[in-house]
Amino acid sequence: MRARLNALAAAALTVASASVTLVGAAQAADQPKHGGIVRFYHRETPPSLSILEEATFSVNAPSMAFYNNLIVYDQHKPQNSDQTIVPELATSWAWDKANTALTFKLREGVTWHDGKPFTSKDVKCTMDLLLDKNPNDKLRKNPRKGWFEEISDVTTNGDFEVTMHLKRPQPSLLAMFASGYTPMYPCHVPSAQQRTHPIGTGPFMFQSEQQNESIKLVKNPHYWKKDLPYLDGIEYTIIKNRATAVLAFVAGKVDVTFPTEMTKALEADIKKQDPTAICEIGPINVNTNLIINRDKAPFDNAELRSAMNMALDRKAFIDLILQGAGDAGGSLLPAPEGVWGMPPDMLKTIPGYGDVAKDREKARAIMTKAGYSKDKPLKIKVSTRNLATYRDPAVVLIDQLKSIYVDAELEPVESSAWFAKVARGDYSVGLNLTGNGIDDPDQSFYENYGCGSQRNYTHYCNKDLQKLFDEQSQMTDVAKRKKLVWEIDKKIQEDVARPILYHARTGTCWKPYVKNLTVMTNSVYNGYRYEDLWLDK
């Protein structure tokens, strides 16, 4: 009996010690390791490294790690929202009672990569650059000037406090500041230098950039966050040919693919060749849309614009172009990844989002009334940028328009001439892609549908709706704001301001030894700080 008890006790001890060992090993495996260089491939040579001057995440992906914001979206919460904003160079922030002054308390002891201290003067300089008020410096391009239009003045109170004074309440200002698009620039470095040799306070410093070859970042040894970054550096190898890039990833020449660059088919191909690869496919808050020239005949006729919208079979677009990896939605990214997207039930009530056959029947009736028929179709050109992501859906669109007596011809336009052509109004129907820097109605509404906005390519202008833009923009109650935002978005779609064809989902793949990598699901511009990324090898 005693012998059996001893044996049982021994067995229990063995199991217990084995469990302790396993738990210990698991904990050790989760323990971040210092050192190593993570290798990404980059899809192209970015136009420059200056985030404030550019509007493509080809810049944000390598450059976000050079900088810090005042506040930033939590880099490990895939869905950006007001609840995921965390302090960075600001330790705290507060609105005044009228919600027209936003004060940031700044972190002390932070230095720029060249050793100079970070102070409120740098914040003021950055804001003056963005507001185009800096007497000594000017951004070559200022694509997000409109984000900060409500800021009338920026004042400092000592070295570590800064206040933004607003013309009216705008709670979404926090989202603008939390975006990867709003890093702080040093006052003592000309903004032009940021294009070629960025100086920031971020976890990584600029090492080198060779056009068409590579971008190299090296660890900032004086980073203000203790023990970070874990990595010694980050390397981006520029591989323009996607097939080569995928093979380079499979062969282990790079550890991570370029963010959100993998299609569903490519992701399946990667998983087949390297089953250990981790791949995530998700929305990127970039929508493909139709721009219809409402200033010119025949589409100055609202009924014809409506017919165009009702001819669309959005599911067919998603199945054909994205192999099902996409979502139908309004101008704001649909839930669950999107914070502000219209609920599906509401979406279905909008013409063009319900029964395709019935909608097309209505569209044909409109076309017949306007004098068009199968034998006498409306002849138009569908203009689009001469890039596959634009051309492919344009071809599907042309096919779908045949169902309502529209005989369309594809007009591929050289990329460099595209926006100038659209600005001149030298198009009838165009196919366009719109990316949203942040998942917030203010950015989308004012930029794309606001009266007089530079990016409102169709010149849609609804004064009543504009008032509602301002109303929702000032609301602090999120639930109430959401309801109003849905109504506005519904109205925009009903007005055929810029019919949304689909919101694409694309993927990122990485090797299993790359730890702490989070892919944002409602913006492709905000998740590249990489300060706590580490390699388990």
Partner 1 sequence: MAGYLIRRFFLMLVTLFGISVLVFVMLRLVPGNIADILFDAAGLIDTADKAKLEHDLGIDRPIIVQYGNWVNGLAHGDLGYSYVSEKPALQEIAPRIPITAKLAGLALLFSVAFGVPLGVISAVRQNSALDYVLRVISLSGLSMPAFWLGLLILMACVAWFGTIPIYTDPPKGFWNTLYLYSIPAAAVGFRSSALVMRLTRSSMLEVLRQDYIRTARAKGASLRNVNYHHALRNALLPVVTVIGIEAAFLMGGLIVTETVFNIPGVARFLVEAIRWRDYPIVQNLVMFIAVVAVGMNFLIDVLYAVLDPRIRLSG
Footprint (CB under 8 A) of partner 1, residues 436-475: 454-455
Q: Estimate the crossing angle of helix 242-250 against helix 264-273, to 10 degrees.
A: 30
Residue corresponding to tokens 């694309």: 506
Q: How far is the CB of 453 from partner 1 (least distance, A)?
A: 11
| Options 32, 33, 47, 128; binder of partner 1; rule CB under 8 A | 47
The verdict on 48 binding partner 1 (CB under 8 A) reads: yes
The verdict on 298 binding partner 1 (CB under 8 A) reads: no
The verdict on 86 binding partner 1 (CB under 8 A) reads: no
Q: Is 173 exposed, middle or buried (0-12, 13-18, 19+ CB in 10 A)?
A: buried
Indicate the residue among 7 and 423 with the shorter CB distance to partner 1.
423
Q: How far is the CB of 198 from partner 1 (least distance, A)?
A: 13
Q: How far is the CB of 37 from partner 1 (least distance, A)?
A: 11
The verdict on 489 binding partner 1 (CB under 8 A) reads: no
The verdict on 247 binding partner 1 (CB under 8 A) reads: yes
The verdict on 78 binding partner 1 (CB under 8 A) reads: no
Within 10 angstroms of residue 267's Cβ, the number of other Cβ atoms is 22
Total residues in contact with partner 1, by rule CB under 8 A:
46
Residue corresponding to tokens 């010119």: 296
The verdict on 425 binding partner 1 (CB under 8 A) reads: no
In order of 87, 104, 119, the CA distances from 156 in angstroms are 18, 10, 10
Q: How far is the CB of 57 from partner 1 (least distance, A)?
A: 12
Question: Which region, judged by CB under 8 A, interacts with partner 1, from 49-57, 117-125, 200-208, 357-365?
Answer: 49-57
β-strands 500-510, 534-535: how paired? unpaired
Q: H or E stretch including 244?
A: helix 242-250
In order of 131, 359, 474, 482, 485, the CA distances from 445 in angstroms are 20, 26, 14, 13, 9
Footprint (CB under 8 A) of partner 1, residues 9-38: none
Q: How far is the CB of 382 from partner 1 (least distance, A)?
A: 19
Phi, psi of 402 (to 5 degrees): -60, -30
Query: Cis omega (within 30 of 0) on the bond before 229?
Result: yes
The verdict on 234 binding partner 1 (CB under 8 A) reads: no
| Options 96, 114, 213, 300; binder of partner 1; rule CB under 8 A | 213
Q: How far is the CB of 56 from partner 1 (least distance, A)?
A: 6
The verdict on 140 binding partner 1 (CB under 8 A) reads: yes
Residues with Cβ within 8 Å of 60's Cβ and at least 6 positions away in sequence, in order, are 51, 180, 181, 524, 525, 526, 528
Indicate the residue among 166 and 286 with the shorter CB distance to partner 1.
286
Residues with Cβ within 8 Å of 518's Cβ and at least 6 positions away in sequence, in order, are 75, 76, 77, 78, 527
* SS3 call for 520: coil
| Options 157, 244, 301, 373; binder of partner 1; rule CB under 8 A | 244
The verdict on 387 binding partner 1 (CB under 8 A) reads: no
Q: How far is the CB of 476 from partner 1 (least distance, A)?
A: 30
Q: How far is the CB of 529 from partner 1 (least distance, A)?
A: 23
Query: Can you give the three-state secondary structure of 368-422, one letter per residue?
Result: HHCCCCCCCCEEEEEEEECCHHHHHHHHHHHHHHHHHCEEEEEEEECHHHHHHHH
The verdict on 276 binding partner 1 (CB under 8 A) reads: no
Q: Note whether 41 and 254 are within 8 A (CB).
A: yes
Indicate the residue among 21 and 208 with the shorter CB distance to partner 1.
208
Of 156, 94, 105, residue with least CA distance to 127? 156
- Site residues, partner 1 (CB under 8 A): 39, 45, 47-48, 53-56, 140-143, 192, 195-196, 209-214, 237-241, 243-244, 247-248, 250-254, 273, 414-420, 423, 454-455
